[in-house]
Structure 1
Amino acid sequence: MTVGELDREICAGPWVGPGGEPGAVAPPVFQTSLFTKPTFGEFVRQQAAEHENFVYSRGTNPTVAFLERQLALLERGEAAKCFGSGMGAIGAVLGGLLRSGDHVLFVNNVYGPTLELARHLERFGVEHTVVTDPHADLEEHLRDNTALVYVESPGTMLMRVVDLRALTALARGRGIRTAIDNTWATPLFQKPLELGVDLVIHSLTKYVGGHSDVTGGAVIGSAELLREVFYRGHQLFGAVMSAMEASLVLRGLRTLPVRMERHQANALRVVEHLQRQDAVAAVHHPYADPGPGDALVRSQLTGFSGLLSLELGGGTFATVERFVDALRVFRIGVSWGGYESLVSSPVRADNADRLRADGLSTGLVRLSVGLEGADAQLDDLDRALALL
């Protein structure tokens, strides 16, 4: 599974934009808060359509707009909007498009803060249901007031895959919008819009930025829907991406195809190795479960990223702590998608019952396989596993 040549071309696309020399190798950073106009009439005209004009950088900025065009092309969407973080993008969709009386159906294991936001929105009359089983019959969970089906695939922690064609066909037949967090796969390895999804969300902090030095988010979809996201979820909530942040994400975007192929190569070696270890009860990654030969995996994913999880046999907090603390190449920290390998776990000394209720193992450990090289990563894992 490889990155398509068209995607490589888009990632490395030349700068084309207002005020920038067409031959510039790197896009200029428009570090300005506002843009003056020659006449008041022109100011009024452009302000009336601020989603497509440069008036104030809280709305649009040439550097950010160039990144948005690249992301839209990669995801095969008509338009994109960037935000100051992945949660800024998620908040713009949930807070900007939903209203009191609406219901949201969350499918698969969804990023924890997303569900925290959903619980917060309950006080404003927005209801929600969570279905963690990726193969569940979703029709029985839809309501007359369901306005959005929100999915992660592959999902958080267990990286399970949802049939996006079936999900979107069901939702579309009921006039319900769909949104997906596509951060795990990146725009290179999965194209949800081509599978019928209405809105694609990314945390650009992860693989797209790729260097653990910038936070960002994006929403991609039709021009009509993105106009709604812009005015209701971006302008009013103010989770703005700055021009400098956009330039860092653009830098990461240029090397995304090369980095993702290396993340994939390292991760698949780690997955195969962990599957052979007696101390590991299970490995969660689409390459391992259900496997690369699975028809659904092959029909939706053209490649595999480096985020996976494993279950330590007889897992307890003490076991997880001993394993994590013994790692050296895998450093302890949140987030993922950068050069460095990272390890984290949802396991705590007092949350075993909560984990089981959420369908998670009490020995669950998440690994972000970085770019240091599989040999070093495997040696590190073996050293930690030997202590169990």
Structure 2
Amino acid sequence: MPSDKKDISLSWITTEWAEDREKYFNAVSPPIWQTSNFSFDTVDQFSQAFQDERNQYIYSRGINPTTDILRKKLAALDGAEDCLLFNSGAAAIFAGIFANLKAGDHLVSVKNPYSSARKMFDAILPRFNVSVSYIDGKTIEDWQAATRDNTTLFYLESPNSWTYELQPLAAIAAFAKEKGIVTFIDNTYCTPIYQNVIAMGIDIAMQTATKYIGGHSDTLGGVLCGSAAMMKKIFDTELMTVGSGLQPFNGWLLLRGLRTLPMRLERIRQTTGQLISFLEKHEQVEKIIFPLHPSFEQYELAQQQMTAALGLVTIMLKAKSRAAITAFCEKLDHFLMAVSWGGHESLVIPRIAFIPEDVYSADNESHRHIRLYFGLEDPAYLQADLEQALEHVRKS
């Protein structure tokens, strides 16, 4: 085992880190401890275990050997002291937010957060007398101006998952620490491999493990990483009380996905670059929105904060009609029309799916957004599919 953190390599984290094979018959792949509870030999052992449920196997609602291996790997991947695992990304967001708010507090959020986060901010937090301000968030001045005396939490997504706006993370984290404000970020787009938010000073790093960590579109999961004190606080209250922790079988699936995470991300990164090069030259494509494309408004900030961008790309077609957008999406043979991303299969999701036909406006750029996810298929295979679908746009 590495002697210190500097010795920890990515390959070690994804394979051997936190595994003790001698304890489970030298199995190469960690087993599933598919049990709800654990027994004790003496009353004293039983009593002592309840003094520290965070580090004792008592009941799998809290911790379990399978999920324990996963949480230790993910904490190391983020460079964090500790990690908590949840049964979905939405559950992780809920727990991390609620653990750091009380009645009368104020939260500042980016203006277009993930839909489940927005629902919580708009429909649930007001019931507890918590107010929310939405801001553009692209500059530190935005966050400074929105801060009030009762502001206790900043919610960030950098990049977000449609138009990929960024926030200057290090500057925001430094300002928040001065004010005693907790910073929470959804880092699902980049993963810690391509954006180390803990190193930038962010307090709570969240990922939807359903996406890249799982990598096979066959399980849900959510991750929170941060200080040991912060993770204990969330574990003792929201995780244990709500009962939203990750189940052993789902943890095992995520362990399997984590083992191939670096190579999958590299393949997706390369494919994304090839297909953007194709799309940016196509006469039917008006605009490409991608954090590391030179046309991106915050391109310089993206280069500073992210070592790579991958997978999700939003395009706009020159043909502005709803019919043209529909034709493009429905003529794709190898891009599945589905939510989420991060698995093997490439996906497409048009914004018009959420906009009533009588409300659609070609003059509203956001109405014309088509989000593509590039998966693990052969890039030439995907390019040919995009090309034939764009040909239908030309004819429509």
Could you state the TM-score of these two structures normalised by the residue count of structure 1?
Answer: 0.93
Amino acid at match of 2:47: V
Conserved? CA contact 1:108–1:153, under 8 Å: no
Answer yes or no: is 1:361 the counterpart of 2:366.
Answer: yes
1:95 aligns with 98
Q: Is the 8 A contact 1:63 1:247 kept in 2?
A: yes
Q: Which amino acid aligns with 2:356?
A: D
* Alignment-mate amino acid for residue 276 of structure 1: K
Output aligned runs, 1:36-47, within 5 Å: 36-47=39-50
What amino acid sits opposite 2:133 in the alignment? T
Match of 1:202 among 203, 207, 217: 207
Conservation of the 8 A alpha-carbon contact between 2:78 and 2:198: yes
Shift, 1:113, TM fit: 1.4
Which residue, 45, 52, 59 being the options, matches 2:55? 52
Where does structure 2 lack aligned partners over 5 or more consecutive residues?
A: 1-6
Shift of residue 387, structure 1, vs aligned partner? 1.5
Match of 2:135 among 118, 131, 134: 131
**Displacement of 1:58:** 0.2
2:356: which partner in 1? 350
Cα RMSD (Å) of the superposition? 2.4
Contact 1:268 1:287 in 2 (8 A): no
Determine if contact 2:21/2:27 at 8 Å carries over to the other structure. no
* Percentage of pairs with the same residue: 33
**How far 1:108 sits from its partner (Å)?**
5.4
CA deviation profile, 1:31-62 (whole Å, cap 9, x unmatched): 11011111122212111210111110000101
Q: Does 1:189 align with 2:188?
A: no
The aligned residue for residue 170 of structure 1 is: 175
CA distance in 1, matches of 2:171, 2:316: 30
Q: Which moved more, 1:181-190 or 1:286-295?
A: 286-295
Unmatched 5+ stretches in structure 1? none
Counterpart residue number, 2:287: 282
Change in CA separation of 1:314 and 1:106 when aligned onto 2, cut-off 3 Å: farther
The letter for the 1-side match of 2:92 is A
1:283 touches 1:289 (CA, 8 Å); kept in 2? no
Candidates 311, 320, 323, aligned match of 2:316: 311
- Could you list the per-position Cα deviations for residues 113-148 of structure 1 after superposition, in whole angstroms to 9, with x for gaps in the alignment? 111111122112121111235236221111111111
Counterparts of 1:354 and 1:62 in 2: how far apart (Å)?
Answer: 51
Q: Are 2:113 and 1:107 equivalent residues in the alignment? A: no
**Residue 331 (structure 2) aligns with:** 326
CA contact (8 A) 1:64 1:242 kept: yes
SS in 1 for 2:220: coil
The 1:279–1:17 alpha-carbon spacing in structure 2 relative to 1, beyond 3 Å, is same
1:27 equivalent in structure 2:
30
Give the aligned partner of residue 4 of structure 2.
none
Q: CA separation in 2, counterparts of 1:356 and 1:221?
A: 43
Residue aligned with 1:51, SS: coil
* Structure 2: distance between partners of 1:91 and 1:58: 17
Answer whether contact 1:15 1:24 (CA < 8 A) is retained.
no
Per the TM alignment, residue 295 of structure 1 is displaced from its structure 2 partner at its CA by: 3.8
SS at match of 2:314: strand
Q: 2:268 aligns with which of 263, 266, 286?
A: 263
- 2: CA distance between counterparts of 1:174 and 1:354? 43
Whether 1:63 aligns to 2:66 is: yes
Equivalent of 1:296 in 281, 285, 301? 301
1:116 aligns with 2:122: no
Farther-moved stretch of structure 1 (37-46 vs 287-296): 287-296
SS in 1 for 2:84: strand
Note the C-alpha offset of 1:354.
Answer: 9.1
How far off is 1:273 after superposition?
A: 1.6
Structure 2-normalised TM-score?
0.91
Q: Match of 1:72, as an amino acid?
A: A
Aligned residues: 384
Instruction: Go from structure 1 to structure 2 and tell me whether the alpha carbon gap of 1:164 and 1:43 turns closer, same or farther (over 3 Å shift).
Output: same
Distance 1:298 1:349 in 2: 33
Pick closer, same or farther for the CA change 1:204–1:315 going to 2, 3 Å: same
Q: Which amino acid aligns with 1:350?
A: P
Q: Deviations over 1:267-295 (max 9, x none)?
A: 11112221112322211111215569944
